[in-house]
Structure 1
Amino acid sequence: MNLDEIFESYATKMTQLSLYQRAMNDIAKKELKQLVEYEQKFEEYPELKKYSSSLHNMVFRKAVDGQLFFYGQKELSVNERRISVFLHKNKQYQWLLAEAYEEYEDCIERLYAYAGFTNNDFWPLRDYGGITLSEIPAKDFSWFESQAINKKDAPASIVNKFREKFPLVKKIEEENELGVNLRLAMTTVEFLRHVIVHRGGEVQDKLAFKNLILKKSGLYNKGGMSEEHASFIDNFFGDGNYEKTIVLLEVRTNPEIPFDTHVNVLDTLFGYLMAHVHLIYESLKK
């Protein structure tokens, strides 16, 4: 696998994830539109209000005799159904972000495999494991990829190696035209992915969560965090009852005008992942 193929493969996978997001957004819009129409029917025919908008029964079959056992029932109002649409959409967005970060990890490992495969001096000796120097030239790309995947503390240790070999990577991570610290952005996505996978997208202690991110990013200065960095992480959480929940939904920018102008939060995070991979890809290419 050559360098361009590695990047193009990653770009293709990220393209598909972006298409999934757009499809989910379209479905949610249609559901919300149907709820508006349903609500208008209530206004037109008040006698319908006595009927349930949505009634759900939860059931399973008992292992002992196979008989049905009803364990829950939920009746939803139109407004509760509207909230459910947003919560479901957000849950889907969370999992798309988790998958995007895993694709990012895979690509970083392949880029590192390429670096070692094309230039054996790029890797430190410990990354080669228990083989002799004379055996290295005979190894194919898949062997290097396997070693990269199993590298201790990957992908962080791999990215650190790229920073060491390419000082420009470190410089642009900190100062770039995106106006964001890319090292902080990558670490934030990494920790968001962990919470999504292992805690259903909700943190227990938000302050501790931010401290962990900033410490790993090397931005926790003298026992404190800057307002700018804390605010960046807060962008990916909700308000009120959802202040500890990872929220990746679109944010309206001009609610006072009748046009759908918004910030696509998930797409912004996808862009940071793409930009970081592209930075390393371009450095290797040069």
Structure 2
Amino acid sequence: MPDNFLIEELAIFTTKISKLMQYKHNANRIFTEQHQKIQDTHAQLPEWSIYKRDGHPFHLFYRSPSSGVDITASSERQKLEDQLEMNTLLRLKTYQWLLVDAYEAFENFLVSAYAHCGREGIGIWEKPERWKHRINSKDGLK
């Protein structure tokens, strides 16, 4: 008779991994399109364009906490290489978060499966020969 709990936990785990793979595929498509869009936009700029020579400005706006006045921080210009690098870094950060989510899904599955095996008395590891601890049913490990 199969153990339904483990089968259900494995189904939950594989569903989460499947969704993460879909997210990865979509992220890859989006960042590839963005990479191409950045290159195409830059290629369409005329040679005399200030954006082609100096890059696109990136402005940071915020509201002063003391006066409530809108303040513009100094702008930084991003050239083509900077924009492509930013796109690549965002892709990698997205992949890192997907990897974190996958690890958490695996960890949750592993904890549930291990706890279930312990509760049901299913032996999943052998005690080492020089095991110094003994099990007392009242107090747990001693």
Q: TM-score category by the smaller chain?
A: 0.7 to 0.9
What do the CA deviations read for 1:118-140 (whole angstroms, capped 9, x no partner)?
22x75xxxxxxxxxxxxxxxxxx
Q: Which runs of 5+ in 2 are unaligned?
A: 128-142
In the comparison of the two structures, how many residue pairs are matched?
122
TM-score (norm 2): 0.75
What do the CA deviations read for 1:203-253 (whole angstroms, capped 9, x no partner)?
xxxxxxxxxxxxxxxxxxxxxxxxxxxxxxxxxxxxxxxxxxxxxxxxxxx
Q: Which has the larger radius of gyration?
A: 2
The residue aligned with 2:42 is 39
1:58 to 54, 57, 60: 60
The residue aligned with 1:118 is 120
Q: CA RMSD in A?
A: 2.0
In structure 2, the residue corresponding to 1:64 is in which secondary structure? coil
| Counterpart mapping for 1:224-239 below 5 A | none
In structure 2, the residue corresponding to 1:75 is in which secondary structure? strand
- Give 1:76 deviation, angstroms: 0.6
TM-score (norm 1): 0.39
Moved over 4 A (4+): none
- Give 1:16 deviation, angstroms: 0.9
In structure 2, the residue corresponding to 1:164 is in which secondary structure? coil
- Give 1:163 deviation, angstroms: 4.2
The residue aligned with 1:4 is 7
What do the CA deviations read for 1:12-53 (whole angstroms, capped 9, x no partner)?
0011111111111101110111122123213xx3233x2364
The residue aligned with 2:77 is 75
Q: Hey, what's the Cα distance between the residues in 2 that align with 1:77 and 1:30?
A: 18
In structure 1, the residue corresponding to 2:23 is in which secondary structure? helix
Change in 2 beyond 3 A, CA 1:72/1:7 = farther
| Counterpart mapping for 1:47-196 below 5 A | 47-48=48-49, 50-51=50-51, 53-119=55-121, 122=123, 162-164=124-126
The residue aligned with 2:135 is none
Q: Hey, what's the Cα distance between the residues in 2 that align with 1:24 and 1:2?
A: 33
Which amino acid is 2:91 matched to?
A: K
Q: Hey, what's the Cα distance between the residues in 2 that align with 1:116 and 1:163?
A: 11
Q: Hey, what's the Cα distance between the residues in 2 that align with 1:39 and 1:55?
A: 14
Which amino acid is 1:164 matched to?
A: E
Change in 2 beyond 3 A, CA 1:116/1:79 = same
Which of the pair is proportionally richer in helix? 1
Residue identity over aligned pairs, in percent, reads 22
Structure of higher RCO (CA pairs closer than 8 Å, 6+ residues apart) = 2
Contact conserved, 1:59 with 1:72, CA < 8 A, in 2?
no
Which amino acid is 2:109 matched to?
A: C
Q: Which runs of 5+ in 1 are unaligned?
A: 123-161, 166-286
Q: Hey, what's the Cα distance between the residues in 2 that align with 1:40 and 1:67?
A: 38
The residue aligned with 1:16 is 19
